[in-house]
Amino acid sequence: MSIRYFNILMNHLEKMQFEVTAASFEELTGRETEPPDVYDCNRALLVTGGKGILHMDDRSFPMKAGTFSFLLAGRQHSMQAQRGETLSYWWCHFRASYADRAIFKEIGMPEHVSIPDPREAIALFERIGRNLLADQPTSRLRLKTSFMELVSVYLDHIVADTGIQETPSPEIEKLEIVLSYVDEHLADSITVEDLAGLIFLHPNYFIVYFKSLMGCSPIQYVNQRRLEVARTLLADPACNVSDAASRIGMKIYYFSRMFKAYTGLTPSRYKKLVLGTAKPVLGSGDPGEPRGQ
């Protein structure tokens, strides 16, 4: 799965609001089966022990300790323990807002991943369960934080599992062409017309299409990628501020202004801090920084 597909997903996840509505730990023994159900919420499910089968629509999936699944709302499913096994699992229900579309399906995200050591994920489920029942002012914030960490564990194991390959939708495949072009031409002038022409769309329609999938305008994305690349370049002792600006296609003054707005630091100050050469600064601002750098 391409890292650019993850860029698409990250742009959505960073802007989405998640609400965890329920969580619990369950066990099934023998050939015991939970009743089939269709949930209005999305469902995260982690097997902690034993073996069993997940029945979903007209398909069945083997489940064992470390199987981690994200199931979208509206899918009928049930869990069944294998003969002689005690199938134990954590689950939590959640809702997602902000352009709530089946982005997992469009990108081709797998419904299941395998986690060799599920202890971190188990601890996060336990924390979610505790915070759902806690009556403290910070419980909701802790709940959201724990859930986002849980999503991160899932994504980390998709990256690690190179054997999982799903087919993205045609819309995502077209977007891949655009994102590849941006990464390969950061040092060049990039216009909306250039990007729209790559996939034969009118520029006005392309802006709407791009924003619906990425959560930002094409030019916002180009500038974001330029600044992300610049941040990496500045960590290289051999690359000075002028070189970094040139390699991402920005004039030095514009680059310095954009980079400071993005990170809160001028490029040269950021570079010194990353390389461990910055001296402590008293007061506000960046004393000693060359203007425009």
Model pLDDT for residues 149-162, shown as the tens digit of each residue: 998 898 888 765 54
The residues spanned by each domain of the chain are: 3-160, 170-274
Average pLDDT (28-33) is 85
Per-residue pLDDT band for 251 (boundaries 50, 70, 90) equals very high
pLDDT at 107: 54
pLDDT at 12: 67
Confidence of residue 32 (pLDDT cuts 50, 70, 90): confident
The third-level CATH classification (topology) of the domain covering 170-274 is: Arc Repressor Mutant, subunit A (1.10.10)
What local confidence, expressed as pLDDT, does residue 230 receive?
A: 95
List C-alpha distances in Å: 244 to 191, 262, 266.
21, 15, 13
Q: Which has the higher per-residue pLDDT, 285 or 31?
A: 31
| Strand 86-97 to 17-29 pairing | antiparallel
At 280, list the tokens. Answer: 């402590």
pLDDT, average across residues 68-73: 88
Report the pLDDT value the prediction gives residue 293, as an integer from 0 to 100: 42
3-state secondary structure 203-257: HHHHHHHHHHHHCCCHHHHHHHHHHHHHHHHCCCCCCCHHHHHHHCCCCHHHHHH
pLDDT > 90: percent of the chain: 56
Q: Which has more pLDDT, 139 or 30? A: 139
Q: Provide, rounded to the nearest whole percent, the portion of the chain with pLDDT above 70.
A: 81
Place 168 in a pLDDT band, splitting at 50, 70 and 90. low
248 CB neighbour count, 10 Å cutoff: 21
Q: What are phi and psi of 241, to 5 degrees?
A: -65, -40
pLDDT at 184: 93
Statement: residue 109 has pLDDT above 60: yes
**More reliable by pLDDT, 1 or 145:** 145
Residue 60 CA to residue 62 CA, distance in Å, equals: 7
pLDDT category of residue 222 using cuts at 50, 70 and 90 = very high
Mean pLDDT of the chain: 84
Is residue 57 within 8 A of residue 141, CB to CB? The reply is no
CATH of the domain spanning 3-160, picked from 2.60.120.280, 3.50.50.60, 2.60.40.1180, 2.60.40.10: 2.60.120.280
Which of the four pLDDT bands, split at 50, 70 and 90, describes residue 33? confident
Residue 99's pLDDT band (boundaries 50, 70, 90)? Answer: very low
pLDDT in the model for residue 19: 87
